[in-house]
Amino acid sequence: VNGGAIFGWPGLRGLLESRGVALSAGEWARMYTVGTVAFSGSAPIAGNVLDRFGPRAASALAGALCALAFVGLALCTRARGLTLAYAALSVGGFCGYLAS
């Protein structure tokens, strides 16, 4: 899950398209861009959580964000909801990567 948010993008997009999610090329690009920026930009926040509360809390945060993201990806069909879910997956993935 850690790097899968970024490197697994083609598979995730294909899965969403096969499930009937129809977004424009710009919406797909925005979703990927927001997820990538969230993955990279979450480093200071994830590092702060890790330093203040330890790896157990960072792992719990990562698990909660990833679970929330998976539910969002399963239930959302519109660009805004999918983008938020993908951003949560990216941040959760980075927190999990950092805590491991």
What are the pLDDT digits (tens) for 8-37?
888 889 999 999 999 999 999 999 999 999
Q: Is 94 exposed, middle or buried (0-12, 13-18, 19+ CB in 10 A)?
A: buried
The answer to whether residues 79 and 56 touch, using CB atoms and an 8 Å cutoff, is no
SS3 91: helix
CA distances from 20 to 10, 68, 74, 77, 84 (A): 16, 21, 12, 8, 19
Structure-block tokens of residue 77? 């069909």
Regarding pTM above 0.75, the answer is yes
Q: What mean pLDDT do residues 65-90 have?
A: 94
